[in-house]
Amino acid sequence: EIGRIQQGVSAAKLDEEKTPLAQKLDHFGNVLTLGIGAICLIVWLLSIPKFSQPAFGGWWRGALYYLKVAVALGVAAIPEGLPAVITLCLSLGTRRMAARNVVVRKLPSVETLGCTTVICTDKTGTLTTNQMTVTSLVTAERGSGKGQGAGPQLREYEVEGVSYEPVGQVRGMTDDTLKGGGLRELAAGAALCNDAELKYDEADKLFTRVGEPTEAALKVLVE
């Protein structure tokens, strides 16, 4: 199963969808080919009465001559400079974006980005702090009543803090929930089954982790 997933991911990387500009250029090329072919055929058919002129020395030679004329017309009508013009336009767009500190690795992405109205991105270190934290947790509390209230009840808590600094509070926590509830058991498990360490960097004036980020987040929760 893991091999199938890897194969699917590799196939997805190789299968690149064409950009809107590439699709339009393909359509334009097909239409242009059909149009030029039709014009060349019409020119050759209109020249049939001239095939038997004495200057050609025969009907077949006249037909071959005007066939060459039609082919030359078709070759001349092909816009050979179109790919160069498109590449130049995309390069100019890349240069303008580079002036705004935007690095473009592929030229077709410039055309796609020009049609973009909203960009949703998550860059670690820019929009996020690269520090995993616990924001909420759910525990199973013992029921205090009889009947439906005798079974375990789920209770949700909100946790303050946005970094590895061990500050903040657990909203909704009381002395009763800490003593006899599942919150104490959860904290004990998070503390004992944990190999991460929190260290304070004097130079940068911030807390850093040694170990897995998930275990570091649980360590902050316990402290």
Does 183 lie in the same domain as 107? no
Does 28 lie in the same domain as 95? yes
As a whole number, mean pLDDT of residues 11-23 equals 67
Does 110 lie in the same domain as 157? no
**125 falls within a domain:** no
Output 33 or 8, whichever has higher pLDDT: 33
Does 95 lie in the same domain as 32? yes
Does 108 lie in the same domain as 28? yes
Question: 96 pLDDT band (50/70/90 cuts)?
Answer: confident
* pLDDT reading at 137 higher than 60: yes
SS3 assignment for the chain: CHHHHHHHHHHHHHCCCCCHHHHHHHHHHHHHHHHHHHHHHHHHHHCHHHCCCHHHCCHHHHHHHHHHHHHHHHHHHCCCCHHHHHHHHHHHHHHHHHHCCCCCCCCHHHHHHHCCCCCCCCCECCCECCCCCCCEEEEEECCCCCHHHHCCEEEEEEECCCCCCCCCCEECCCHHHHHHCHHHHHHHHHHHCCCCEEEEECCCCEEEEECCHHHHHHHHHHC
Output 174 or 211, whichever has higher pLDDT: 211
Does 98 lie in the same domain as 29? yes
**79 falls within a domain:** yes
Across 30-44, 79-93, 121-135, 172-186, which has the greatest mean pLDDT? 30-44
Does 106 lie in the same domain as 58? yes
Does 166 lie in the same domain as 92? no
As a whole number, mean pLDDT of residues 30-58 equals 86
Question: 191 pLDDT band (50/70/90 cuts)?
Answer: confident
Does 110 lie in the same domain as 24? yes
**11 falls within a domain:** no
Enclosing domain of residue 213:
136-143+151-222
pLDDT (0 to 100) of residue 4:
75
Does 103 lie in the same domain as 185? no
**215 falls within a domain:** yes
As a whole number, mean pLDDT of residues 155-180 equals 77
pLDDT (0 to 100) of residue 144:
60
* pLDDT reading at 149 higher than 60: no
Active site residue 122: yes
The total number of structural domains in the chain stands at 2
Does 99 lie in the same domain as 39? yes
* pLDDT reading at 218 higher than 80: yes
Does 101 lie in the same domain as 44? yes
pLDDT (0 to 100) of residue 76:
86
**13 falls within a domain:** no
**175 falls within a domain:** yes
Output 181 or 31, whichever has higher pLDDT: 31
Q: What amino acid occupies position 158?
A: E
**181 falls within a domain:** yes
15, 26, 122, 176: the catalytic one is 122
